[in-house]
Amino acid sequence: MKLTSNLFYISLLGLVLGGCSIDRYIPQGESLYVGGKVKVESDSTSRRYVANLEGPLEDLLRPAPNKTLFGFPYKVWLHYWIGEPKKEKGFRNWFRRKFGEPPVFATQRIVAANVGVITGYLNNEGYFRSSATGELVEKKKRTVEAHYTAYLKPRYYIDSVTFVVRDSSQFSKDLLSTQRRTRFKTGDPYRFEVVREERQRIDRILKTRGYYYFNPDYLIIKIDSTHSNNTVNLFVELKLTAPQTAIKQYYINDVYVYANYNGLSNDTLSGQVDLQGGLHILDPERNYRPRIFDDAIGFRQGLRYSSAVHDVSLSRLVNLQNFKFVKNRFELIPRSDSAFLDVYYYLTPLRKKALRAELSGVTKSNDLAGSQISLSWTNRNLFRGAEILRLSSNAGIDFQVGGRAGNDSLRNNNFLRLNLQGELSFPRFVIPFYKPDPATGQALPKTTLTLAYETLTQQGFYTQTSMRGQWGYTWRRNTEVEQTFMPLGVNVIRTRNVSNQLVERIFAFETSDQDRLRFLRLLDSRLILETQYNIIYRPRTRLSRRHQFYLSGGINTAGNLAGLLAKNRRGEENDGQLFGVFYEQFARFDGELRYYFDISPRIRWANRFQGGLGIPYGNSYALPQFKQYFAGGSIGLRAFRARTVGPGAYYADSTTRSLLGDNSFGDIKLEFNTEFRIKFTSLINGAIFADAGNIWNYRLTELYGPEAVFGPDFYTQIAAGGGLGIRFDLNFLVFRVDLATPFRKPWYTLEEGRNPWVFNEFNLRSKEWRQQNLVLNIAVAYPF
């Protein structure tokens, strides 16, 4: 581990600096290379580019110098001090390779190579006829640094772009049609990287139009830089040496699918099923219905070859989650004038049935962490159509790891959980008269039926049961957009095993009416008959690979269908009930935006904004608890314990927390999070973060009071905090520890003489302040 190595080096440094010198190890006539510097010189026409070039040019210099610690090449010293091992294997050899490093000596060859690299880079960036020189300069005894000078010429810009064709053939027409979205823009600086991207772009387009054997190297982009105003004219054309196969369109002949390929040559026609469009399924054991391959594979006899259809077909077969390996090849029909390709798919199935047990740590969306033991059984290809049946059960304990306050709060935030679930998914829309477009969609649409039973026991309080059923569809038209539509979801929630002690405390004289109302609301049995739609958008940004975006949104409605089924009239005794259970009526809208920017290879700036609006109506005066929002905790406002912020300016006193635990929920949520993620080693990452937001009620004042309702002054009720974090990236999971403190407490008011901004209260030396304001969050995975 790198951390262990660094500690070893630091402890060794005192010994090294105390009397050991590396000079006596360096061979006579050699000097250690300690890196290089680049100075850019230019005339007045190109001086504005100098500041932006020196850094990138120095990043290009090779080789990298030996690592140093406070200027001392400790790894080289270890390399010499350990000496040449007598055996190729053994501790001494391992120790030398692990902690030592061969010396990098300065040579004129290094200088010459880097001069060529600098010159090439400048010319590739449009600084034509620029040049560079270099020399070795002695820094200290037996150490040398390379100094380079780049002589910058004016930069050239694109004046015009012309696509050149030599005839009126179909290929020439297709090549000309690619000009419409060329990467070359008039007025942009010439860059060879854009030239490379343009050739690849044209290649991708042509491959979707049947040109199977085309290659980017068959294109040449000529540059005319003879103008006196530092501009270039670009000419895109086909090389004269391009073969005829490259400009010929190819069509599909037959498609062969080997559905049980074992890695050996088994090009046998036994068990062959022939479908329309030249699709041949070779499945001797009849494990799969031919329809699944008819849906997944887009190629048909007589259709023109397209790389897009090729990619989509492979992606669909992989996303069926029935095959361990998916291989593909194309074979030209052996005729001199042939323009037809046979297509072969070789599919190696996964094991049909699998049993899995797992013990894991989890951090959930409700900010509870804990451990769980899971047992799942999977049957792939249940009805021979690549359907997947999963039966699972899990049991565990959930608790809030960070930011506890007192023994009562600790106990009240513990939950025992048992879940039984069955899920059956079909790789298609289970809708009559629908068939997917064979040329679009990275994955086949999926229909999912889910049945689940869950019990949640809050220790010392109650047990809540949930019986849930869902029918939904998921589909992706491309790699950027995923959509889910659940036309029907049913959830029956009941509360039982309420402790007598809790009931007595709730109805005690000192208990507030608000606490009693929230408790009685908890006891209600509720029916949620809902419809839901969600969309996720992950754009492939054209700005830079350093930028990443994530956008999601959702609409969730409940009560309309239940109201139609109930056929009750207002004022009757059973008003608002279906099958003897009150049904919820609400509409909920959610949105989330994430933005990531890689400042450097080791520093990422991550941001998230999320908002939610719940509108209860009819039977419901607030969102049901399973659908409400909360604030605080390890995935939200990390300076506050989960469910302790809001709604609005409300703050639960100690009596309320002892009765109901941390139990603040709302119908509206706004939250913004930002953090800088710093990579220290391959294992250890750090973070500096800040969070702000709150929750509010939509209109109800009875539960938390009027200060909890969303209004024009909502911005005065924003909670804020920040802190530091450390993350251990173990590849298979990320273990995260965040330490945070509040910056702004919205329940403080100036009228009461307390400023909501609490910077002036910081007092790390005070034990009481630390207990009340330092919140330690321990979680699995990143917060966003």
> How far is residue 316's CA from residue 428's CA, in Å, rounded to a whole number?
11
Only one residue has tokens 């005066």, namely 621
Q: Which residues of 32-64 are buried (b: 16+ CB within 10 A; e: fewer)?
A: bbbbbebebebeeebeebeeebeeebeeebeee
Q: Tally Cβ neighbours within 10 Å of residue 406.
A: 12
Q: Which residues of 740-776 are buried (b: 16+ CB within 10 A; e: fewer)?
A: bbbbbbbbbeeeeeeebebeebeeeeeeeeeeebbbe
pLDDT at 601: 85
pLDDT at 240: 94
3-state helix, strand, coil in the chain (%, to 5): 25, 40, 40
Only one residue has tokens 């960070």, namely 402
Please give the DSSP secondary-structure letter assigned to residue 708.
G
Q: Tally Cβ neighbours within 10 Å of residue 590.
A: 17
pLDDT at 300: 93
Q: Does residue 381 contact residue 387 with C-beta atoms inside 8 Å?
A: yes
> How far is residue 394's CA from residue 356's CA, in Å, rounded to a whole number?
12
Q: Which two tokens stand for residue 586?
A: 């609400």
284 prior amide bond cis, ω within 30: no
What type of residue is 287?
Answer: N
Q: What is the pTM of this model?
A: 0.76
Q: Does residue 439 contact residue 315 with C-beta atoms inside 8 Å?
A: no
Beta bridge partners of 486: 532
Is the C-alpha dihedral spanning 576, 578, 584, 587 positive or negative? negative
Coil, strand or helix at 14: helix
Coil, strand or helix at 654: helix
> How far is residue 683's CA from residue 662's CA, in Å, rounded to a whole number?
34
Residues in the chain: 784
pLDDT at 571: 46
pLDDT at 646: 85
Query: What topology does CATH give the domain 2-152?
Result: Ubiquitin-like (UB roll) (3.10.20)
How is 152-199 classified by DSSP, letter by letter?
EPPPPEEEEEEE--SS-SHHHHHHHHGGGG-S--TTSBP-HHHHHHHH
**Phi, psi (degrees; rounded to nearest 5) at 441:** 90, 115
pLDDT digits (tens, 9 = 90+) for 536-592: 999 876 556 788 999 999 999 998 888 888 765 444 555 677 887 888 999 999 999
**Range 157-247 has CATH code 3.10.20.310:** yes
Q: Which of 773, 568, 602 is nearest to 678 (CA)?
A: 602
Q: Interhelix angle for 192-207 vs 108-124, to 10°?
A: 60
What type of residue is 599?
Answer: I
pLDDT at 58: 92
pLDDT at 9: 47
Q: Give me the residues of the chain with pLDDT under 50, please.
A: 1-9, 11-19, 365-367, 402-411, 569-571
The set of residues, in sequence order, having a beta carbon less than 8 Å from that of 552 and lying 6+ positions away, is 534, 535, 536, 537, 590, 591, 592
Which segments of the chain belong to CATH 3.10.20.310?
2-152, 157-247, 251-349
Q: Does residue 85 contact residue 93 with C-beta atoms inside 8 Å?
A: yes
Output the CATH code of domain 251-349. Answer: 3.10.20.310
Q: Which of 753, 754, 773 is nearest to 762 (CA)?
A: 773
Q: Quote the strand ranges of 664-781, DSSP E.
A: 668-679, 684-696, 719-729, 734-744, 775-780
How is 720-739 classified by DSSP, letter by letter?
EEEEEEEEEE-SS-EEEEEE
One of 3.40.50.2000, 3.50.50.60, 2.40.160.50, 1.10.3720.10 is the CATH number of 418-780, namely 2.40.160.50
Which segments of the chain belong to CATH 2.40.160.50?
418-780
| Greatest distance between any 2 Cα atoms in the chain | 104
pLDDT digits (tens, 9 = 90+) for 622-662: 888 888 999 998 889 999 988 889 899 988 776 666 666 66
pLDDT at 503: 75
Please give the DSSP secondary-structure letter assigned to residue 685.
E
Q: Which two tokens stand for residue 710?
A: 């969303």
